[in-house]
Chains A and B, each alone.
Chain A
Amino acid sequence: MTRRMAALPAALLVAAVVLPIVLSDYRTGRLAAVGAYFIAILGLDLLLGRGRQVSLGHGGFMALGAYTTMILVARHGLRDVATIPVAACVAGAAGLVVALPSLRLRGIYFALATFGLAVSIPPLAQKFDGLTGGSTGIAFYGSSHETGSGGSVRLVGLSLSHTQWTYALTWAIAAALFPFAWWVARKRRPTTLLAVASAAYAGVAGSLVAIDLAFFSPNAIPLEVSLYLAAAATLGLYGSIWGALLGAFVVEYLGDLVGQIPRVPASGPGPTTFVFGALLVAFVLARPLVATISRRKLPWRGERS
């Protein structure tokens, strides 16, 4: 890796350590969410930048990962961290199921299929409520030795709150997954593989969200999130690490930003959704121009699509 490339994981590591110390638990929690979105968007970037396909269902894959974690911890007593790889596999398997019928056809059928997935997950979760707790959701309150929730966690001699712990976990995993994604993107890969990897990334992200919240329900990740993630990956000029980071921050904080605009009602999702959509439309329209600019500035890009 060039020095510029190595700088990023190093910077992430530093941020992971410093920020939660100075920020409140609430703010730290939001930064943990940013981390989860970042992982999901990395997955989208892989698929979008290299495979030229978009997933409109990454929220659904996240939900699958989240439910995997919740079910394994709450009903089977596994350690939360141990469920993360399982969540990745479950989401990846779902990605395969969706990818196989749709990617064999030329065109954008994968987007259609993933959209269907995103719309279908909440009803499925409600239906199989024996497993998922239905609409009321599922929570885990294990002892801190199992889950770290509810109490503080001891890590390298420091006492961390639950949120600080999930924050650290999230960003550590993000830092590890980024070079892996870079490695996957280096060569041409079959699009199906990219789709599965992309879904797996989302599964990890969902798992981390569940660990942070210690709770999950069918509407914890609504359809909007899938669309926001796709929009954020696009806005972040897919293929670029800075873009993925920017996209993650936008997904989490755009609502706040929009609420700051005078005469825009801060309550209600309408204006935020509108701005997201308008930005995406404007971006795609301006893309030829943006592409020329970005090609010069941003590192870590595969073949430009």
Chain B
Amino acid sequence: MPLLELRGLDARYGDTQVLHSVSLTVDDGDFVAILGTSGAGKSTMLRAISGTVRSSGEVTFEGERLYRRTPEGMARRGVAHLPQGGGALRALSVLDNLRLGAWTQRGTSARDLVHVFEMFPMLYDRRRDRAGSLSGAEQHLLALGRAMMAKPRLLLVDEPASGLEPAVARSIGSTLHVLNERGTTIVAVEQTAGLALAAAKRTIVLDAGHVVRTD
């Protein structure tokens, strides 16, 4: 049984139709990269899955058809959506951001925090700083750290390395690879093929809201 199944997904912004009958199957443990030029509907696809935008069509997760989805509801089901830019809560401290990642988890998160800090030592140094004072790259890493705290089944990540230096981008790519190895299914959206070639197992190409190529 696939982890995530999309069938005939349509989405519009106002009068413009952005997704045209998109269908996709993602298995447990997959790492899917979604490529396409800007405006192709990649971000919209992730938003449609997490319920950030309205869409019509079928979305099935863990065998269950989900009708009205909301980001917070999906997060509680184990689907973490990292929007463009990381979605850090700028007013809160780094530590608070990470703790927030574990909001959907029961029990304490102290050990998970330790793991995140091991992976991203720089976040530990700045743990009491406001997230808004971090650089763009650091905020991306913070977002990943938060996602790790949430221990999601499925991670939807929107342009995880955009605008970052190649070295940082590679580090993010390898982090995602590690996460995937540990069992998190990942759907990553990207404009360039760098991350896809490096870490993903499958690639999908979107053009003007249509799936034009799948592996």
Chains A, B in direct contact (C-beta < 8 Å): no
Chain A residues within 8 Å of B, Cβ to Cβ: none
Chain B interface residues (CB < 8 Å from chain A): none
